[in-house]
Chains A and B, each alone.
Chain A
């Protein structure tokens, strides 16, 4: 399978033919439109090594995230960055041998893979307190845009030999190479968790999130929406109880469901389009943009559906020390997590289609994203990005345009 991937990329490199790398298709909505033939990684699966005592797991790119999480859970361990899956609950795992089936009539299940998780570099509610996807990446194997397999980093926690190319791949959206294998640092699951809710206005909630984060409290997630501050505490049972007594609030019963829905954006709030993600300095006061917001990450992320011009939102985010991303610019979801509005070629009508990208290079982005999905880079940084892209993918065949339209 690895040889097939290498061959495909080598051939594409020689013929200057663009490729779209795709795993389980759960994050096709993310990024700028790109064009090319789909290069799937679904068949490249399997946990290569998992040593609970070393806190390290190595798996191939196509391995479903859910499968990895289930394996870790058996050992009371977890992916501490709580990666989003963006698929409906319960999360359907592909059947054995799935992925080999590209038959026209079979709807392909959508699921998050490890490769997509790392390429997108997205993290969930635990991120401000435990670290981001990039923080847990110890090593990667990739195939660069010339078809050259490469290995960076390793399976040990401390490693400063050579430039940190492994972490460079995280969030690069496959534009620097196809990730084929990833080694991650794993953490033990906390013994106990409790989620507390407080009725609070936005400004007070932002202040509380920041004040509490500066105290020795076992915080592991924070959220504010519609007048409700929600806080998760994780740790030894006694520690969580003491913190609960200190903070007060109402215990939330369906806590794991709450955080999972927030992680996967499976609440109606996130169905609105265009959905913007404003990353800001966590202490930034309410943005007063008039649109309803969902605040996460201790105040550092503000989600909103807004029709305001991209430039306006980007200026607001920049003033607040951060940046704005058009996270979902596609048409509103009908709740089935099928984000397509138009069947791609070869698609049988009536079946939910996982994504506009699964077809022959079809890629439909109904909402105008002329201003780009991601905040434009300063000229000096843009030059560096293009230079790096040029070195890893000289013919620009891998996910061309997905991160920034010109490369």
Chain B
């Protein structure tokens, strides 16, 4: 399989890594054929699993010298085929760099290697009553290096931000093997904000070998309110009303009827079933603050027309309310052989319109869809149900998904809130951005990696590809539906 590689290259690569850190036999490399989006697969020819930073740098230098492409991969939980192997490239797996190097409880920081799991940071910080805030739903398995590459979020983004808001320092290596020390141990660094530029850059600019994350004090208390609505639009309006009342919830989640029923059948969270939408609103912080905000939230929900409002009466019930939401994906997964998870973000005011359009598209494509929504920050996860064994259904699901993303752009949103573009949404990038912006993205890439050796073909489409796909940028004043109220 590795035949297409120059034997001299492979021979040198062997000298750079321990024997068990270089995989070339198909039976060894097969497990790395996809990330969390398993519809996209490609067995890698060469998998390198360096054990330390020096090995990472050496592998990059060698690849650069031989003009061999490199695809960096963390835990492989990504949902956009960002870590999909590329033909002729070395798959650089950073999972073995998994040490927590230091925790400084007084300065509230942790220095970790990229292969450290997201949740492991919070676990290590727990004795100091501290935690790492971003909590993507894959946090048991996903690693911090991947979180930085994707700028991962989670259910607590609205209050605590994304990865970019919660890291202060990076050690990263350019493809030509130069060390970049980006950020500082203070709150800012001189020069351009390369920390922000690298966060969410999907392995296209540099390879990260160390991350310094911020740790926050554990909130004194967390409380959740559940509210049922007989109308999705009312639930959507309630979200805006909560925020207008001056409350910033730690989490604000919404599910539609199909998702509610699936979740209830799966984990018996005690959700009301005779409703069209369910809101979960979590307040955390200082005890008194939580009490005050809970009263406000209940009042707002009532005024917004909730048909039922429940405050969790115990920590156990709070966790149960959340269990339903957190199990929503696998629960929906039980309704059909396969589901396809979308990740658009929209201005919240557009929610009723977008849900209505999604339901129309659902009828058009003949595929059911369940909606799970990070309502607080407008991040919508429609789950399209299909059966990959039925000829044409995967293609139909993908086409349907593409329409949803284009819809998100139309109403002033974006094609990806937290999962990244990867290979999956590369076509929709042509819809979201016009040629001049895409050109600048390629320019940014070229500043770091002029030979386009890092994760080639991902995240930013070539302009001629956009033309081939026939995708058109939705431009100001040239929208498909100019009659829509726009934000």
Contact = CB atoms under 8 A, between A and B. Distances in A.
Nearest to A241: B288
Nearest to A297: B187
Contacts of A213: 108, 217
Interface in B99-125: 104-108
Interface of A: 49, 51-56, 75-76, 121, 127-128, 131-132, 134-135, 144, 148-152, 154-165, 167-168, 170-172, 176, 187-189, 191, 207, 210-211, 213-218, 235-239, 241-243, 279-283, 297, 300-301, 320-323, 325, 374-375, 377-378, 380-381, 384-385, 387-388, 390-392, 403-404
Contact of A158 (B153, B187, B433): B153
Interface in B450-476: 459-460
Contacts of B417: 156, 158-160
A5 B92 CA distance: 46
B217 A216 contact: yes
Contacts of A321: 184-186
A279 B188 contact: yes
A55 B286 contact: no
B324 interface: no
A301 B187 CA distance: 8
Contacts of A75: 244
A152 B433 CA distance: 8
A403 B218 CA distance: 39
B193 interface: yes
Given A159-B416, A380-B174, A300 B189 contact: no
B437 interface: yes
B348 A53 contact: yes
Contact of B345 (A159, A211, A325): A159
B374 interface: yes
A188 B106 contact: no
Interface of B: 104-108, 128-130, 150-151, 153, 157-158, 161-162, 164-165, 174, 178-182, 184-194, 196-197, 199-201, 204-205, 217-220, 240-241, 243-244, 246-248, 285-289, 291-293, 345-349, 374, 377-379, 412-421, 425, 429, 432-433, 436-437, 440-441, 443-448, 459-460, 487
Contacts of B345: 156-159
Given A158-B157, A323-B189, A384-B194, 5 more contacts: A132-B188, A160-B417, A162-B460, A381-B180, A403-B191
A155 B378 CA distance: 10
A378 B181 contact: yes
Contacts of A280: 185-186
Contact of A377 (B107, B191, B443): B191
Contact of B128 (A127, A187, A214): A214
B193 A282 contact: no
B487 A148 contact: no
Contacts of B220: 216
B413 to A, nearest CB: 5
A374 B128 CA distance: 36
Contacts of B444: 163, 165, 388, 391
B285 A154 contact: no
B32 to A, nearest CB: 23
Contacts of A159: 345, 414, 416-417
A391 B437 contact: no
Given A156-B417, A235-B285, A392-B440, A162 B433 contact: yes
